[in-house]
Chains A and B, each alone.
Chain A
């Protein structure tokens, strides 16, 4: 256990269990309510932040919080952040927080989420194909348009940056690589963004009434060198997350705040794993095996894909020991899901395969997926050879952008009928693998970049279109697609990495990677609800649900130093956690029905 984790355990154990109640109102300087203001209370010792939204009258109420010192931050685009410290005891405390309007156009622009800036950049690209390629290839590690990426550079430095990113998989065609420096420099010039975003400032809309009772809790997990890729919620209530760049498995107990860190065995995997000759990892990474996706098996163990180590790991929460299973056939174990028989199915992203491991019998299978063209088939088959030869021969990944691309099987899920469905990110298609016969059926998608897909309880497949900024539903019985534009303005600037369906309610939850949001879609009403998240540069890749209906995700922007506060976080959104009775009245609100 790390020193930090021990400290946290001690702090939690010694903390008084009596909770304090904190509520209040947010107004502007004229006493008018600031609707949708995010009120955040940060408990320094627990490295945890709790956030609620101000309601239409400006009232807010925190859930019960531990006694202690809190740093409060109130935020709403269009106003200056307000910060103050609060000593919370076991009683009730009330605060009226007055926000000052921000009038500096440049500062106003800088308050806006990355997608607004991204909108300026894509407007300078020559056509839709270039925009799609830019989003698919340049927005899968980090936001585009965040404070760290909305940077003007000279052409030479852009060229170097593209070469560096190509090594990490962000491979652009010559056409887009040529157009991008001018587009990005034009978008991020003060003469462009100040009028567009500051002088014509339009704040993101406040959360609507359906979101107003939500509570968001963020726990710092990992550090500046972490890429906290995926999370999973264990039936015992603890949450596990995978640190891809530091080879760690974290466990958070949200009831106590305790964090534990487990080192994933590296065996003989070198830095960079099987891709060591390419070193496709950032300079601050210490990734030999790179845990990526993780899920809880029916027996309560945690199964993890180790993408660079080319292995699968099993972690036993009872013994806290790992078992490691090398992936002999295929490359890059990616996203993993269990079927009803307890078998783990996962995509092998680089070798264009789907694999299965049966924990009960040890049986393993791999299925090679079709590529669209002969060139792609050759590219897939050539990867192991390239990795081997790269020890002696220089292969320029930059030039690969003009060559046939790898199909990249990405998301995977199990249909209610047991069929295994997957997406091929670069192919604009999804497919079904029959787990009994191995037969594969492919379906073209009417949108680009299908990413992490999930089934609902009725057998509909929900798919995020990463570079097409859409939510899609596919009905395998009828073969029909239906798509909805995501409700993020300007349209086309959101890149949904993942989604999940809460099978109890049927609601679809979607990652808002560029807009610092989570989105909820109610299929029956065909209605979106947008939940702004409190931390700037929140980039999420997976959504899971707790037994209590809470929505869990993690902030995994890479690099983590671009995240506000420079700390990756595990995030819980409780959609319906209302304030305790009397809290809003305590703050001065009229009782509501």
Chain B
């Protein structure tokens, strides 16, 4: 590939990036509260986002490691092949989460169709029924390693989670 061709490709990519449509973020559907920790990633653009949750021992739950030694489970890996139109969801859950710091990342691995380069998303963390939500935008081929972090407190003496 010559320099001229490379520069041309660069310009084309920049123009396409600027023109890309950005799909709106759907409102999060109500969900029943559950014990433990649940991390939910939602988006609606026709792209494949991936949820990464790293537990206090530093093992990550994600599509290629859907079960961790700490009991974390990726309940759902949304993929382009699912062929869904509309809201997409990935969810990781610990029913008996070990105490400590959890880190949540989001990866925009690929576009399902079209040329979407940026996808709005929401992240919901629910700890023993208490819910907090964060919104962000994922960029094509980029992994945001630390969108948010949260801490699960150690149970008090005699407390049963």
Contacts and interface: CB of A to CB of B under 8 A. Distances in A.
Given A223-B58, A283-B105, A561-B59, A157 B145 contact: no
Interface string A560-583: 010000100000000000000000
Interface in B132-150: 140-143, 145-146
A163 B145 CA distance: 17
Contacts of B63: 157, 160
B57 A389 contact: no
Interface stretch (A20-28, A334-342, A391-399): A391-399
Interface residues of B, number: 36
A283 B52 contact: yes
B81 interface: yes
B60 A392 contact: no
B141 A396 contact: yes
What is the predominant secondary structure among interface residues of chain A facing chain B?
loop
A225 B58 contact: yes
Nearest to A245: B58
Contacts of A378: 1
Contacts of B128: none
Interface string A281-303: 11111000000000000000000
Contacts of A283: 52, 54, 60, 62, 103, 105, 143, 145
A40 to B, nearest CB: 21
A282 B146 CA distance: 12
Interface residues of A, number: 32
A28 to B, nearest CB: 32
A562 to B, nearest CB: 9
Given A279-B142, A393-B17, A396-B141, A157 B79 contact: yes
A366 to B, nearest CB: 24
B111 to A, nearest CB: 9
B79 A160 contact: yes
A561 B69 contact: yes
A283 B54 CA distance: 7
A440 interface: no
B19 interface: no
B90 interface: no
B109 A271 contact: no
Nearest to B79: A156
Nearest to A285: B145
Interface in B28-75: 48, 50, 52, 54, 57-60, 62-65, 68-69
Contacts of A279: 142-143, 145
Between A156, A164, A225, A284, the greatest number of chain B beta carbons within 10 A of the residue's beta carbon is seen for A284
A423 B48 CA distance: 39
Given A156-B81, A283-B54, A566-B69, A389 B141 contact: no
A167 B107 CA distance: 12
A376 to B, nearest CB: 13
B145 A271 contact: yes
Interface string B82-101: 00000000000000000000
Contacts of A282: 60
A161 interface: yes
B25 interface: no
Contact of B110 (A160, A277, A395): A160
Contacts of A157: 63-64, 77, 79
A223 B140 CA distance: 31
A339 B48 CA distance: 50
A375 to B, nearest CB: 8
B123 interface: no
B68 to A, nearest CB: 8
21 contacts: A148-B65, A156-B81, A157-B64, A160-B109, A160-B110, A163-B109, A163-B110, A164-B109, A167-B141, A224-B57, A225-B57, A272-B145, A283-B62, A283-B145, A284-B58, A284-B60, A389-B10, A395-B141, A559-B60, A561-B68, A566-B69
Given A160-B64, A271-B146, 16 more contacts: A148-B65, A156-B79, A160-B79, A163-B110, A224-B59, A279-B142, A279-B145, A283-B105, A283-B145, A382-B6, A392-B14, A393-B13, A394-B17, A395-B141, A396-B141, A561-B69
Interface of A: 148, 154, 156-157, 160-161, 163-164, 167, 223-225, 271-272, 277, 279, 281-285, 378, 382, 389, 392-396, 559, 561, 566
